[in-house]
Structure 1
Amino acid sequence: MYLYILVSLVLALIFAFSCHTAIRRHPGIFYGIAFFLVLSEVIYYQFGIHDIAPQWFTAYIVNPFKRGAFSTALFIIVMYLGALDSKHLFVRKLMGIRGQLSILACILTLGHNIIYGKKHFVNLFTNPWAMKPQTMLAAVLSILMICIMLPLMMTSFPSVRRKMSAGSWKRLQRLAYLFFALTYIHVMVLFIPNWEKKIPDIIAYTVIFGTYLILRVAKATKKSSHALGYTGCNPTS
Structure 2
Amino acid sequence: MRLLITLVVVAVLSWALARPLRSHSMLFYLAAVALAGAGAYLTIAPPAVLPLREVAFVVQKGYVAFALFAVVMMMGVLDKRSAVRRRLQPVRAQLSLLGTILIAGHIGFYAVVYLEILGSVGASNPFAVAGFTSAVALVVLLVPLAVTSIDVVRRRLGAMPWKRLQRLAYPFFALILVHAGCYLAKPVLGGSADASLNLAVYALLLATYGVLRVRRALADRRASEPAASEDSTSGAEPLLELLESEYAAIA
TM beyond 0.5:
yes
Q: 1:13-92 to 2 correspondence within 5 Å? A: 13-45=11-43, 48-50=44-46, 53-54=47-48, 56-57=50-51, 59-92=53-86
> Which residue pairs with 1:230 in the alignment?
227
> Which residue pairs with 1:199 in the alignment?
196
Helix, strand or coil at the partner of 1:141: helix
Q: CA deviation at 1:81?
A: 0.5
> Which residue pairs with 2:88 in the alignment?
94
Q: Equivalents in 2 of 1:107, 1:91: separation in Å?
A: 23
RMSD of aligned alpha carbons: 2.0
Deviation >4 Å, runs of 4+:
none
Match of 1:168 among 151, 161, 182: 161
- The answer to whether the 8 Å contact 1:128/1:136 transfers is no
Q: Equivalents in 2 of 1:116, 1:23: separation in Å?
A: 29
Q: Flag the 1:14–1:40 CA change in 2: closer, same or farther, 3 A.
A: same
> Which residue pairs with 1:114 in the alignment?
108
Q: Equivalents in 2 of 1:77, 1:84: separation in Å?
A: 11
Q: Flag the 1:109–1:131 CA change in 2: closer, same or farther, 3 A.
A: farther
Which amino acid counterpart does residue 213 of structure 1 have in structure 2? G
Q: Point out where structure 1 has 5 or more consecutive residues left out of the alignment.
A: none
Q: 1:91-170 to 2 correspondence within 5 Å? A: 91-121=85-115, 124=118, 129=122, 132-170=125-163
Percent identity, aligned pairs only? 28
Q: Equivalents in 1 of 2:41, 2:161: separation in Å?
A: 38
| Cα offsets for 1:189-212 (capped at 9, x unmatched) | 222333231222222222111111
Q: CA deviation at 1:224?
A: 1.6
Q: CA deviation at 1:128?
A: 6.3
**More deviation in 159-168 or 222-231?**
222-231
Q: CA deviation at 1:223?
A: 1.0
Q: State the aligned residue count.
A: 230
- The answer to whether the 8 Å contact 1:145/1:182 transfers is yes
Which amino acid counterpart does residue 232 of structure 1 have in structure 2? S
Q: CA deviation at 1:235?
A: 6.7
- The answer to whether the 8 Å contact 1:123/1:131 transfers is no
Q: Flag the 1:99–1:131 CA change in 2: closer, same or farther, 3 A.
A: farther
Q: CA deviation at 1:62?
A: 0.9
Which amino acid counterpart does residue 161 of structure 1 have in structure 2? R
Q: TM-score, normalised to structure 1's length?
A: 0.89
